[in-house]
Amino acid sequence: MAGKRAELRKQTPFNRWNDFLKWKAESGDEVALQVLRSKKAPIERKVQQEFAKADPSASNWKLRQSQIRMDSSLVWKDKRKLISIAKMLQLQAEEAKRSNDTNKRSLDKITWRVDSSGNVLYSLKSGGMVKDNGDKIFFSINDPTAKIVAEKLAKRMFGANIKIKGNEIYRMQRKVMVEQSSCR
């Protein structure tokens, strides 16, 4: 197997994406050259800026969630991520209304990022993490604050009918009774 890998490495003169782009650009590929040049330009993160400029009141977050749902320029996966972040920030705004003591607030200084799989990862000031992957919400098992925050987020995302199993929270399936009638 090592021999086959060595042969493949000789055929492809690059090990990383940037090396590939440089190789293609040297071969005359204009698109690769444009991609390399675009990396020098600053990238504007619209999502973060939209949330940073918004009014921190809870009612404004409900309006923002509605706007995200109605935005036809976004695909559903992107809408789900934005709604998740908006719901977490709504929880943060509601917590700030309830308590003026920043030491008692669990959602202060919360940060988030979206990983390469599309999961939204929230980092809490306590050091715990909450992960929203759309169908389930996971939390740091050793952090009681993360469990509380994850449960609140799950209730916002899935409704009151949730199930906690280990360090994951998911929506309980509704049992639908179908009446069978005899048609004769």
User: Is 1 a residue whose pLDDT tops 80?
Assistant: yes
Q: Do 25 and 115 fall within a single domain?
A: no
Q: Do 29 and 50 fall within a single domain?
A: no
Q: What is the pLDDT of residues 20-60, one digit of tens each?
A: 777 677 667 777 777 777 765 544 444 444 454 444 555 66
- 8 Å CB contact between 177 and 158: no
Q: Do 52 and 32 fall within a single domain?
A: no
Q: Do 52 and 28 fall within a single domain?
A: no
pLDDT at 137: 93
State how many domains the chain has. 2
Q: Is residue 152 part of a domain?
A: yes
Q: Is residue 153 part of a domain?
A: yes
Overall average pLDDT of the 176-183 stretch? 53
Q: Is residue 125 part of a domain?
A: yes
Q: Do 33 and 50 fall within a single domain?
A: no
Q: Is residue 92 part of a domain?
A: yes
Q: How far is Cα 32 from Cα 129, in angstroms, rounded to an integer?
A: 37
Sign of the CA dihedral 166, 76, 41, 20?
positive
Q: Do 23 and 69 fall within a single domain?
A: no
Q: Is residue 130 part of a domain?
A: yes
Entry pTM: 0.59
Q: Do 20 and 59 fall within a single domain?
A: no
How much is the mean pLDDT over the chain? 76
Overall average pLDDT of the 9-24 stretch? 72
Higher-pLDDT residue of 57 and 96 is 96
pLDDT at 112: 85
- 8 Å CB contact between 20 and 33: no
Please report which helix (H) or strand (E) contains residue 126, including its range. none
Domain around 56: 46-171
- 8 Å CB contact between 145 and 118: no
